[in-house]
């Protein structure tokens, strides 16, 4: 990654320093604060909303639309209202929408690890953030393998909607694909492929918990699209795979590993990494032009900073460099840009605090929730 020194920030400021002329409004409670910030120093005229979390009274959690991977889309406010002790929410990672008139699965672009369970692997090369680190990375570190009578069969993808076909992405139905119960659609079908249905013998419902091993027992096989049932693991594979030779009653051992942390979600791009600002590629027009933005970062002392900037695609809002400058003025040293544009939503205190691009809150695939931990 090409970087420039953080000293290039537009102005110096102590962590979370604010002046009366910067702050438009303020409210909060112990450990949690919301405020609107003026971005005129950085050339941003759109409204900026900031949430900060200090201490352990609140946590940032990943929410899935309707609590399932690829099942559909849901507004961040609805995700928050459906979650006990949730006090605020913003939209999460970028997601794929299918063509008009077709089903709208909202398949995530990046990876998701939620509560130490690997729920979704990245569709394409994508930046990630470890919410518990906090740290950012250029991709999701993971692996899953099935031991079939001493033969190691690697898993290619987990809970992805395949094959994928949208702008700039053409991913055919290949490899060994694993699906668990949070997957909301039916398993894929294709020539010379079979789907194997396994019973999870420990019955904990977490077959892809990172850095763990589980035993799976084959109970059925099918070439039809099938809904994934709770307590089962479905593997779509080539009829030439060693997995395909298994018979009902045979057992295999699956191992899932990752060093990415227990709560990890994708975004683009990395804005700041341990105090160093990213160099934004001129060809990345989405980041060079002003757009509505949603981003998350952390100060050196561990204060979580969630920020949204209102705007209209390519016309108003903030560029990536302006977003970096605002974060640096708030003392943020590590930050990742999340989905923006029409998706940008800031929900808190029982209402939408920002002004979404299209005037109404957009349903999205994932959200980040701020939840009371005690």
The predicted-structure confidence for 218-230, as pLDDT tens digits, reads as follows 999 999 999 999 8
Residue 20 has pLDDT above 50, yes or no: no
R_g (Cα) of the chain, nearest Å:
22
Residue given tokens 């939620």 in the structure block: 114
When pLDDT is averaged across residues 293-310 and rounded to a whole number, the result is 97
> Which residues have CB under 8 Å from 199's CB, separation 6+?
216, 217, 219, 231, 232
φ, ψ at 277 (rounded to 5°): -80, 140
Residue 3 has pLDDT above 50, yes or no: no
Tell me whether strands 143-148 and 117-120 are parallel, antiparallel or unpaired: unpaired
The pLDDT of residue 168: 64
- This prediction's pTM: 0.90
């Amino acid at each position: 990654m090409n970087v420039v020194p953080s000293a290039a920030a537009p102005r110096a400021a102590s962590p979370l320093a604010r002046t009366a002329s910067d702050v438009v409004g303020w409210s909060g409670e112990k450990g949690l604060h919301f405020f609107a910030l003026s971005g005129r120093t950085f050339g941003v005229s759109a409204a900026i909303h900031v949430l900060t979390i200090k201490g352990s009274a609140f946590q940032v959690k990943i929410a899935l639309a309707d609590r399932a991977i690829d099942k559909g889309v849901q507004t961040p406010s609805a995700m928050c209202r459906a979650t006990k002790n949730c006090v605020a929410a913003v939209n999460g990672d970028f997601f794929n929408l299918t063509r008009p008139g077709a089903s709208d699965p909202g398949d995530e672009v990046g990876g998701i690890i939620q509560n130490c369970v690997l729920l979704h692997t990245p569709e394409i090369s994508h930046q990630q953030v470890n919410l518990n680190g906090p740290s950012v990375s250029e991709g999701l570190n993971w692996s899953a393998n099935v031991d079939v009578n001493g033969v190691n069969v690697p898993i290619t993808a987990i809970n992805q909607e395949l094959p994928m076909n949208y702008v700039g992405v053409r991913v055919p139905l290949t490899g060994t694909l694993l699906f668990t119960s949070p997957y909301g659609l039916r398993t894929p079908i294709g020539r010379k492929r079979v789907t194997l249905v396994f019973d999870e013998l420990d019955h904990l419902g977490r077959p892809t918990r990172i850095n763990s091993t589980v035993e799976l027992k084959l109970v059925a096989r099918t070439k039809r699209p099938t809904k994934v049932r709770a307590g089962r693991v479905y593997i779509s594979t080539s009829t030439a795979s060693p997995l395909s030779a298994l018979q009902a009653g045979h057992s295999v051992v699956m191992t899932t590993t990752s060093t990415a942390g227990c709560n990890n979600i994708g975004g683009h791009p990395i804005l700041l990494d341990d105090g160093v600002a990213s160099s934004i590629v001129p060809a990345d027009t989405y980041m060079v032009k002003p757009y509505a933005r949603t981003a998350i970062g952390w100060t050196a002392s561990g204060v979580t900073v969630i920020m949204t900037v209102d705007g209209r695609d390519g016309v108003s809002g903030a560029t990536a460099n302006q977003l970096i400058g605002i974060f640096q003025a708030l003392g943020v040293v590590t930050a990742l840009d999340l989905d923006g544009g029409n998706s940008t939503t800031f929900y808190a205190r029982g209402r939408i605090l920002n002004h979404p691009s299209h005037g109404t809150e957009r349903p999205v695939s994932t959200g980040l929730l701020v939840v009371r931990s005690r």
